[in-house]
Protein backbone atom coordinates (compact mmCIF):
# COMPACT_ATOMS: atom_id res chain seq x y z
CA UNK A 1 0.00 0.00 0.00
CA UNK A 2 1.23 3.55 -0.63
CA UNK A 3 2.97 5.09 2.37
CA UNK A 4 0.67 7.50 4.23
CA UNK A 5 3.01 8.32 7.14
CA UNK A 6 3.59 11.80 5.68
CA UNK A 7 -0.11 12.69 6.11
CA UNK A 8 -0.92 14.55 9.34
CA UNK A 9 -3.26 12.63 11.73
CA UNK A 10 -5.92 15.37 11.45
CA UNK A 11 -5.85 15.06 7.62
CA UNK A 12 -6.11 11.27 7.85
CA UNK A 13 -9.16 11.62 10.12
CA UNK A 14 -10.68 14.12 7.66
CA UNK A 15 -10.20 11.65 4.77
CA UNK A 16 -11.82 8.82 6.76
CA UNK A 17 -14.71 11.04 7.87
CA UNK A 18 -15.33 12.07 4.26
CA UNK A 19 -15.70 8.40 3.27
CA UNK A 20 -18.35 7.69 5.93
CA UNK A 21 -21.47 9.03 4.13
CA UNK A 22 -20.48 7.10 0.99
CA UNK A 23 -19.91 3.89 2.95
CA UNK A 24 -23.34 4.34 4.56
CA UNK A 25 -24.99 5.08 1.21
CA UNK A 26 -23.48 2.11 -0.65
CA UNK A 27 -23.57 -0.49 2.16
CA UNK A 28 -25.11 -3.72 0.87
CA UNK A 29 -25.07 -2.49 -2.73
CA UNK A 30 -23.40 -4.28 -5.67
CA UNK A 31 -20.69 -2.70 -7.83
CA UNK A 32 -19.44 -4.23 -11.06
CA UNK A 33 -15.83 -3.31 -11.84
CA UNK A 34 -14.25 -3.77 -15.28
CA UNK A 35 -10.53 -4.24 -14.61
CA UNK A 36 -8.15 -3.47 -17.47
CA UNK A 37 -5.37 -1.24 -18.78
CA UNK A 38 -2.27 -0.30 -16.76
CA UNK A 39 -4.04 -1.11 -13.48
CA UNK A 40 -3.89 -4.72 -14.65
CA UNK A 41 -0.26 -4.89 -15.82
CA UNK A 42 1.68 -2.66 -13.37
CA UNK A 43 2.56 -4.70 -10.21
CA UNK A 44 2.08 -1.75 -7.81
CA UNK A 45 -1.26 -0.82 -9.36
CA UNK A 46 -2.32 -4.49 -9.25
CA UNK A 47 -1.72 -4.50 -5.48
CA UNK A 48 -3.57 -1.15 -5.10
CA UNK A 49 -6.55 -2.52 -7.05
CA UNK A 50 -6.73 -5.68 -4.91
CA UNK A 51 -6.58 -3.59 -1.70
CA UNK A 52 -9.38 -1.33 -3.00
CA UNK A 53 -11.61 -4.30 -3.85
CA UNK A 54 -11.01 -5.91 -0.43
CA UNK A 55 -11.68 -2.63 1.38
CA UNK A 56 -14.97 -2.17 -0.51
CA UNK A 57 -15.97 -5.69 0.55
CA UNK A 58 -15.00 -5.07 4.19
CA UNK A 59 -17.16 -1.91 4.42
CA UNK A 60 -20.19 -3.87 3.20
CA UNK A 61 -20.14 -3.17 -0.56
CA UNK A 62 -20.35 -6.16 -2.95
CA UNK A 63 -17.72 -5.90 -5.72
CA UNK A 64 -17.92 -8.12 -8.83
CA UNK A 65 -14.76 -7.96 -10.97
CA UNK A 66 -14.81 -8.53 -14.76
CA UNK A 67 -11.42 -8.53 -16.47
CA UNK A 68 -10.03 -8.31 -19.98
CA UNK A 69 -6.63 -9.52 -21.12
CA UNK A 70 -5.82 -8.32 -24.65
CA UNK A 71 -2.05 -7.78 -24.13
CA UNK A 72 -1.67 -11.15 -22.38
CA UNK A 73 -3.54 -12.94 -25.21
CA UNK A 74 -1.32 -11.19 -27.76
CA UNK A 75 1.85 -12.32 -25.89
CA UNK A 76 0.62 -15.94 -25.74
CA UNK A 77 -0.28 -15.96 -29.47
CA UNK A 78 3.15 -14.53 -30.36
CA UNK A 79 4.78 -17.30 -28.33
CA UNK A 80 2.93 -19.79 -30.53
CA UNK A 81 4.01 -17.90 -33.66
CA UNK A 82 0.42 -16.81 -34.35
CA UNK A 83 -0.30 -13.25 -35.41
CA UNK A 84 -3.42 -11.61 -33.98
CA UNK A 85 -5.80 -10.39 -36.70
CA UNK A 86 -8.34 -7.61 -36.12
CA UNK A 87 -11.37 -6.42 -38.11
CA UNK A 88 -12.85 -3.07 -37.04
CA UNK A 89 -11.02 -3.35 -33.72
CA UNK A 90 -12.36 -6.85 -32.99
CA UNK A 91 -10.00 -9.81 -32.56
CA UNK A 92 -10.70 -12.54 -35.15
CA UNK A 93 -11.04 -15.66 -32.99
CA UNK A 94 -10.60 -18.94 -34.85
CA UNK A 95 -10.74 -22.27 -32.95
CA UNK A 96 -7.00 -22.24 -32.11
CA UNK A 97 -7.11 -18.61 -30.95
CA UNK A 98 -10.19 -19.40 -28.82
CA UNK A 99 -8.22 -22.13 -27.02
CA UNK A 100 -5.47 -19.60 -26.26
CA UNK A 101 -8.06 -17.01 -25.13
CA UNK A 102 -9.58 -19.54 -22.72
CA UNK A 103 -6.34 -20.63 -21.10
CA UNK A 104 -4.98 -17.09 -20.85
CA UNK A 105 -8.17 -15.46 -19.50
CA UNK A 106 -9.60 -18.26 -17.36
CA UNK A 107 -6.16 -19.53 -16.34
CA UNK A 108 -3.28 -17.10 -16.08
CA UNK A 109 -5.03 -13.70 -15.88
CA UNK A 110 -7.96 -14.71 -13.70
CA UNK A 111 -5.84 -16.66 -11.22
CA UNK A 112 -3.39 -13.74 -10.94
CA UNK A 113 -6.27 -11.46 -9.91
CA UNK A 114 -7.66 -14.04 -7.47
CA UNK A 115 -4.14 -14.34 -5.97
CA UNK A 116 -3.73 -10.57 -5.55
CA UNK A 117 -7.10 -10.33 -3.80
CA UNK A 118 -6.20 -13.20 -1.45
CA UNK A 119 -2.86 -11.53 -0.68
CA UNK A 120 -4.75 -8.33 0.22
CA UNK A 121 -6.90 -10.30 2.69
CA UNK A 122 -10.01 -11.04 0.58
CA UNK A 123 -11.64 -14.24 -0.64
CA UNK A 124 -12.06 -14.36 -4.42
CA UNK A 125 -13.51 -17.02 -6.72
CA UNK A 126 -12.65 -17.17 -10.43
CA UNK A 127 -15.46 -17.89 -12.91
CA UNK A 128 -16.11 -17.92 -16.65
CA UNK A 129 -19.50 -17.47 -18.30
CA UNK A 130 -19.82 -21.27 -18.34
CA UNK A 131 -19.95 -21.51 -14.54
CA UNK A 132 -23.53 -21.73 -13.35
CA UNK A 133 -24.62 -21.19 -16.98
CA UNK A 134 -23.89 -17.49 -16.42
CA UNK A 135 -23.34 -16.12 -19.96
CA UNK A 136 -25.21 -17.68 -22.87
CA UNK A 137 -23.97 -16.29 -26.18
CA UNK A 138 -24.25 -16.59 -29.95
CA UNK A 139 -21.90 -15.75 -32.77
CA UNK A 140 -21.48 -12.00 -33.23
CA UNK A 141 -22.68 -10.68 -36.60
CA UNK A 142 -20.26 -7.94 -37.59
CA UNK A 143 -21.55 -5.62 -40.29
CA UNK A 144 -19.00 -3.60 -42.25
CA UNK A 145 -18.82 -0.02 -40.96
CA UNK A 146 -18.79 1.42 -44.49
CA UNK A 147 -20.92 -1.06 -46.45
CA UNK A 148 -23.82 -2.58 -44.43
CA UNK A 149 -24.35 -5.27 -47.10
CA UNK A 150 -21.00 -6.87 -46.12
CA UNK A 151 -20.78 -9.06 -43.02
CA UNK A 152 -17.37 -10.00 -41.58
CA UNK A 153 -16.73 -13.42 -40.03
CA UNK A 154 -14.75 -12.81 -36.82
CA UNK A 155 -14.95 -16.44 -35.69
CA UNK A 156 -15.83 -17.34 -32.10
CA UNK A 157 -16.61 -13.80 -30.96
CA UNK A 158 -19.85 -13.71 -29.03
CA UNK A 159 -22.90 -11.57 -28.55
CA UNK A 160 -24.67 -12.04 -25.19
CA UNK A 161 -28.07 -13.77 -25.42
CA UNK A 162 -28.85 -14.20 -21.74
CA UNK A 163 -27.22 -13.72 -18.33
CA UNK A 164 -28.02 -15.92 -15.35
CA UNK A 165 -26.64 -14.34 -12.17
CA UNK A 166 -27.60 -17.17 -9.76
CA UNK A 167 -24.01 -18.27 -9.15
CA UNK A 168 -22.88 -14.66 -8.56
CA UNK A 169 -25.68 -13.99 -6.08
CA UNK A 170 -24.79 -17.17 -4.16
CA UNK A 171 -21.11 -16.19 -3.98
CA UNK A 172 -21.87 -12.61 -2.91
CA UNK A 173 -24.15 -13.88 -0.13
CA UNK A 174 -21.30 -16.08 1.11
CA UNK A 175 -18.95 -13.07 1.18
CA UNK A 176 -16.83 -14.08 -1.80
CA UNK A 177 -15.55 -11.66 -4.43
CA UNK A 178 -16.38 -13.06 -7.91
CA UNK A 179 -13.75 -12.57 -10.64
CA UNK A 180 -15.32 -13.15 -14.07
CA UNK A 181 -13.53 -13.97 -17.35
CA UNK A 182 -15.53 -12.72 -20.38
CA UNK A 183 -16.12 -16.11 -22.01
CA UNK A 184 -19.61 -17.28 -22.94
CA UNK A 185 -21.06 -20.55 -24.26
CA UNK A 186 -23.44 -21.33 -27.13
CA UNK A 187 -26.26 -23.80 -27.78
CA UNK A 188 -23.80 -26.40 -29.10
CA UNK A 189 -21.52 -25.96 -26.06
CA UNK A 190 -19.08 -23.87 -28.16
CA UNK A 191 -17.04 -21.14 -26.45
CA UNK A 192 -17.22 -17.45 -27.31
CA UNK A 193 -14.79 -14.61 -26.66
CA UNK A 194 -16.84 -11.56 -25.55
CA UNK A 195 -15.76 -7.93 -25.10
CA UNK A 196 -15.12 -7.44 -21.35
CA UNK A 197 -16.72 -3.96 -21.31
CA UNK A 198 -19.90 -5.49 -22.75
CA UNK A 199 -19.89 -8.31 -20.17
CA UNK A 200 -19.37 -5.83 -17.30
CA UNK A 201 -22.19 -3.57 -18.56
CA UNK A 202 -24.64 -6.47 -19.00
CA UNK A 203 -23.79 -7.94 -15.59
CA UNK A 204 -24.33 -4.53 -13.97
CA UNK A 205 -27.75 -4.29 -15.66
CA UNK A 206 -28.81 -7.82 -14.68
CA UNK A 207 -27.55 -7.55 -11.09
CA UNK A 208 -29.25 -4.13 -10.80
CA UNK A 209 -25.89 -2.83 -9.58
CA UNK A 210 -25.58 0.54 -7.87
CA UNK A 211 -22.48 1.33 -9.92
CA UNK A 212 -20.51 0.15 -12.93
CA UNK A 213 -16.83 1.14 -12.76
CA UNK A 214 -14.66 0.95 -15.89
CA UNK A 215 -10.91 1.25 -15.29
CA UNK A 216 -9.16 2.64 -18.38
CA UNK A 217 -5.89 4.15 -19.55
CA UNK A 218 -7.48 7.57 -20.01
CA UNK A 219 -8.50 10.22 -17.47
CA UNK A 220 -12.16 9.70 -18.48
CA UNK A 221 -14.34 11.36 -21.13
CA UNK A 222 -12.69 14.51 -22.49
CA UNK A 223 -14.34 17.41 -24.31
CA UNK A 224 -13.06 18.74 -27.64
CA UNK A 225 -10.51 20.93 -25.81
CA UNK A 226 -9.15 17.91 -23.93
CA UNK A 227 -10.73 18.88 -20.58
CA UNK A 228 -12.12 16.13 -18.34
CA UNK A 229 -15.93 15.99 -18.18
CA UNK A 230 -16.57 14.76 -14.63
CA UNK A 231 -20.36 14.51 -14.54
CA UNK A 232 -22.58 13.68 -17.51
CA UNK A 233 -26.20 12.63 -17.98
CA UNK A 234 -27.26 9.99 -20.50
CA UNK A 235 -28.70 12.80 -22.68
CA UNK A 236 -25.38 14.72 -22.67
CA UNK A 237 -23.51 11.54 -23.68
CA UNK A 238 -25.90 11.08 -26.65
CA UNK A 239 -24.98 14.61 -27.78
CA UNK A 240 -21.23 13.85 -27.49
CA UNK A 241 -21.73 10.79 -29.72
CA UNK A 242 -23.64 12.86 -32.26
CA UNK A 243 -21.01 15.60 -32.60
CA UNK A 244 -18.05 13.17 -32.73
CA UNK A 245 -16.49 14.21 -29.37
CA UNK A 246 -16.61 10.51 -28.35
CA UNK A 247 -15.05 8.34 -31.03
CA UNK A 248 -12.60 5.49 -31.66
CA UNK A 249 -11.86 3.06 -28.82
CA UNK A 250 -14.07 4.99 -26.40
CA UNK A 251 -17.22 4.29 -28.50
CA UNK A 252 -17.89 0.66 -27.45
CA UNK A 253 -16.90 1.41 -23.85
CA UNK A 254 -19.26 4.37 -23.54
CA UNK A 255 -22.15 2.83 -25.47
CA UNK A 256 -22.14 -0.14 -23.05
CA UNK A 257 -21.94 2.29 -20.13
CA UNK A 258 -24.83 4.29 -21.55
CA UNK A 259 -26.98 1.15 -21.97
CA UNK A 260 -26.28 0.25 -18.33
CA UNK A 261 -27.22 3.76 -17.13
CA UNK A 262 -30.43 3.69 -19.17
CA UNK A 263 -31.26 0.20 -17.83
CA UNK A 264 -31.19 1.35 -14.22
CA UNK A 265 -27.56 1.27 -13.04
CA UNK A 266 -27.48 4.47 -10.95
CA UNK A 267 -24.02 5.65 -11.98
CA UNK A 268 -21.30 4.54 -14.36
CA UNK A 269 -17.74 5.68 -13.64
CA UNK A 270 -15.02 5.75 -16.29
CA UNK A 271 -11.84 6.24 -14.30
CA UNK A 272 -8.09 6.44 -14.80
CA UNK A 273 -6.63 3.12 -13.67
CA UNK A 274 -3.12 4.63 -13.84
CA UNK A 275 -3.84 6.67 -10.67
CA UNK A 276 -3.06 4.66 -7.49
CA UNK A 277 -6.29 3.83 -5.61
CA UNK A 278 -8.33 5.80 -8.18
CA UNK A 279 -11.31 3.52 -7.60
CA UNK A 280 -11.52 4.22 -3.84
CA UNK A 281 -10.99 7.94 -4.38
CA UNK A 282 -13.79 8.03 -6.99
CA UNK A 283 -16.29 5.97 -4.98
CA UNK A 284 -15.64 7.05 -1.38
CA UNK A 285 -14.63 10.75 -1.63
CA UNK A 286 -15.99 14.00 -3.09
CA UNK A 287 -13.06 14.20 -5.50
CA UNK A 288 -13.66 13.19 -9.15
CA UNK A 289 -11.03 10.88 -10.66
CA UNK A 290 -12.86 10.27 -13.90
CA UNK A 291 -16.22 10.71 -15.59
CA UNK A 292 -19.48 9.78 -13.92
CA UNK A 293 -22.46 9.06 -16.18
CA UNK A 294 -25.85 9.27 -14.51
CA UNK A 295 -29.04 7.77 -15.85
CA UNK A 296 -30.91 11.04 -15.36
pLDDT tens digit sequence for 27-40: 999 999 999 877 88
Instruction: Return phi, psi of residue 278, to 5°.
Output: -55, -35
* 289 within some domain: yes
Check whether 13 has a pLDDT greater than 90: no
pTM, two decimals, is: 0.91
Identify the pLDDT of residue 144.
84
Check whether 66 has a pLDDT greater than 80.
Answer: yes
Higher pLDDT, 141 or 246: 141
- Given a cut of 60, whether residue 2 has pLDDT beyond it is no
236 in a structural domain: yes
Q: Is residue 3 part of a domain?
A: no
In the predicted structure, residue 67 carries a pLDDT above the cut 80: yes
- The per-residue pLDDT of the chain, averaged, comes to 89
Does 97 map to a domain? Answer: yes
**pLDDT surpasses 70 at 3:** no
Q: 113-169, pLDDT tens digit by residue?
A: 999 999 999 999 999 999 999 999 999 988 888 888 999 999 999 999 999 999 999
Give a yes or no: residue 240 inside a domain.
yes
Q: How far apart are CA 132 and CA 112, in angstroms?
A: 22
Residue 248 has pLDDT above 80, yes or no: no
Q: What is the pLDDT of residues 187-234, one digit of tens each?
A: 999 999 999 999 999 999 999 999 999 998 888 888 888 888 888 887
Q: Determine the pLDDT at residue 48.
A: 92
3-state SS of the chain is CCCCCCCCHHHHHHHHHHHHHHHHHHCCCEEEEEECHHHHCCHHHHHHHHHHHHHHHHCCCEEEEEECCHHHHHHHHHHCCCCCCEECCEECECHHHHHHHHHHHHHHHHHHHHHHHHHCCCCEEEEECCHHHCEEEEECCEECCCCCCCEECCECEEEEEEECCHHHHHHHHCCCEEEEECEEECCCCCEEECCHHHHHHHHHHHCCCCEEEEEECCCCCECCCCCECCEEEHHHHHHHHHCCCCCCCHHHHHHHHHHHHHCCCCEEEEEECCCCCHHHHHHHCCCCCEEEEECC
Establish whether 70 is an annotated binding residue: yes
Q: What percent of the chain has pLDDT over 70?
A: 96
Q: Give a yes or no: residue 1 inside a domain.
A: no
Q: What pLDDT was estimated at residue 170?
A: 96
Structural domain of residue 31, as residue ranges?
9-294
pLDDT at 15 over 80: no
Residue 266 is labelled as binding a ligand: no
**pLDDT number for residue 249:** 67
Residue 252 has pLDDT above 80, yes or no: no
**Is 2 contained in some domain?**
no
Write down the pLDDT at residue 165.
95
Inside any domain, residue 4: no
Number of domains, the chain: 1
CATH assignment at residue 90: 3.40.1160.10
* 8 pLDDT above the threshold of 60: yes
> Quick check: 289 pLDDT over 80?
no
Amino acid sequence: MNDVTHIAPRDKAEILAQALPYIRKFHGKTMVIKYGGNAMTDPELQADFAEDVVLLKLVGINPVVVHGGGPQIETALNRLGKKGQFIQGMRVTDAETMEVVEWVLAGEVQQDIVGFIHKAGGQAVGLTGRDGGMIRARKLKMVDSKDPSIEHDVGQVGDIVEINTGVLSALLEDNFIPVVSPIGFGDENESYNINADVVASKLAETLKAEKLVLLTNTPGVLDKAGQLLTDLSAREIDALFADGTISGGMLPKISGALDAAKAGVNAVHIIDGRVPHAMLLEILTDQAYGTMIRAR
